[in-house]
Structures are given as structure tokens and as C-alpha cells.
Amino acid sequence: MKPGIYVCIASILLVGAISCAATAGIIFDDPLDGSTLGTASGVQWGSGVSGQAAVFTAGNSYIGYDGGYFPAQGTMSFFLKAAGSGERSVLDTVGKGNAEAGDIALLLAPGNTLTFYGRGASDWHVLSGTKVLGSSSWAYVAISYGPTFGMNLYVNGVADGTFSASGNMLAGRNAADIFLGDYPLDGGSYYLAVPGSIDMFRASTTERDINLLTAPAVPEPTSLVALAGGLICSIGAFRRKRS
């Protein structure tokens, strides 16, 4: 398998006190080609092969859903690490597109901490992490979002991050995009990158190889002692969208 950005959305084992008031449903429950969820509204969709990688080139910077079918709440989980010597992370670049209520974004900030964004009616709600990701080992990251419990960020099973904007995600969501890191080519509105990668580095900057798997829901956490991921998931096909 050639190097690239491998998105590993893992199954989750929760150990600790949790509230089972609501389960979110999986964040990706179709093969991302518009066949069972949402409507394809762009051009140049990636073909994607189950179990293999789809290629994202500059100018095709995000996966999108239209028609209001993106889940109102959900959880993403994955492994990632900071860039090492001679490696370049795509998580610190921007995707391009118009932000709508319900969009989510994640940035690997300077200092290798995570910043999680949720789009409200007119602005971004920001959750700034403090845990530093290293380049020598993988960190297990889980992000949950929804109208009943706001936004939660976990790094290796430990809650991380503080809000810098008030309010939770809106209960009603519009067409929502998952923004992937890429180089912008024109002067549009640019928003932050979303990862989800088990290997997010490559020497070439001309393409992005991405494998995406489904993520299970988690109940609303009241406290979390441990969070572990099992890499037992189904791999979806990919589509790519050009704004």
C-alpha cells in the first residue's frame, strides 16, 4: 500500500461512567458516493475502491452531503500523529467551500494541539485542545458532537479542550461538508481541514490518498475513564466534490 492519508474511523469501547440518554448513530452510514445518504451536487467525484484509497487532488478538497441528510449528531474516531522530520502534515492546510450550519472541522494547530470547530447558524463554535501530539507514536482521537451534549474532544481517552465560543451545535443541520486538507487554488471562502487519518503524511503535495471507515455512535459522556478503538470497520467508497 502506497503512503498517504489513511483515514481510520475505529469502533469504540467506552469504559467508565456514561449517560445513555441518546445514541448518535454512525457519522458515516453510506459509502460516501451519494447512493444512500444525501445527494451528489458537485463534479469530479472520486471513484474509490472498497478497502483501498481514493485520490484527492488540489482543487477537490472536501467530501459533501446535500439535502439536509447529514446526521444531527455523531462521533468520529481515528488515530493520528504530528509530522516528523521531513514529513508534511496536511491537517494544517485549508479546504475550500462555503460553510453552513452543522459543518465540522478539525485543525492541527501550531504546537501540535487540536482545535475542533462546529458551525452554528452564523459562526464557528471552537473547542481548543491542550494535549500535544507527538510524531513518534499514534494518538487515539475521538470527537463527538450534537445538540444535546455540544462538542467533546478526547485524546487517548482523556477529555481535552475548552470552549472559546458559547453555545452548542444547532439541533437542525443543513447540508454539511467534511472538509479535508488541501491547497486552495482560487480566492474563495476557505475553511479548516478535517482529518481522520492513520497516516497523514506523504512527500508529494499533488495528491491525497484517503481510506475512510465507519464510526459507531457513543452515548453522551458524563465521565470517561478509558477510550479504546478496535480497527474493525467497513470501508466505504469515496466521492470527492469540487466547489
- What domains lie within the chain, and their CATH numbers? 1-197+211-243 (2.60.120)
Mean pLDDT of the chain: 45
Q: What pLDDT shows up at residue 77?
A: 56
Whole-angstrom Cα distance, residue 238 to residue 236?
6
Whole-angstrom Cα distance, residue 123 to residue 102?
10
CB of 35 closer than 8 Å to CB of 50: no
Nearest to 211 by CA among 32, 11, 29: 32
Q: What pLDDT shows up at residue 181?
A: 34
User: Residue 223: CA atoms inside 13 Å, Cβ hemisphere, count?
Assistant: 3
For 114-145, write each residue's pLDDT tens digit: 877 766 666 667 778 898 888 777 676 776 66
For 6-65, write each residue's pLDDT tens digit: 233 332 222 222 222 222 222 333 333 333 333 333 323 333 333 222 333 333 333 444
Tell me, letter by letter, the H, E, C secondary structure of 72-124. Answer: CCEEEEEEECCCCCCCCECCCCEEECCCCCCCEEEEEECCCEEEEEEECCCCE
pLDDT band at 203 (very low <50, low <70, confident <90, very high): very low
Q: Quick one: DSSP state of residue 153?
A: E
Q: Quick one: DSSP state of residue 138?
A: P
Pairing mode of beta strands 94-96, 190-192: antiparallel
Please indicate, yes or no, whether the overall pTM of this predicted structure exceeds 0.95. Answer: no
Name the 3-class secondary structure at 18: strand
Nearest to 164 by CA among 123, 130, 125: 125
For 156-202, write each residue's pLDDT tens digit: 777 887 666 544 333 333 333 344 333 333 333 333 333 333 233 33
For 231-243, write each residue's pLDDT tens digit: 222 222 222 333 3
CB of 217 closer than 8 Å to CB of 75: yes
Instruction: List, in order, residues 6 or more apart from 43 with CB less than 8 Å away.
Output: 241, 242
Plot region of 47 (φ>0 → left; ψ -120 to 50 → alpha; else → beta) = alpha
For 52-108, write each residue's pLDDT tens digit: 223 333 333 334 443 343 444 555 555 566 766 655 555 555 444 455 555 666 667
User: Residues 19, 21, 23, CA angle at the centre, nearest 5°?
Assistant: 100
Q: Quick one: DSSP state of residue 134?
A: P
Distances in Å between the alpha carbon of 40 and those of 33, 67, 168, 177, 215? Answer: 7, 9, 28, 12, 21
Question: Residue 26 has which C-alpha cell?
Answer: 454512525
Higher pLDDT, 152 or 29: 152
Q: How many CB atoms lie within 10 A of CB 52?
A: 12
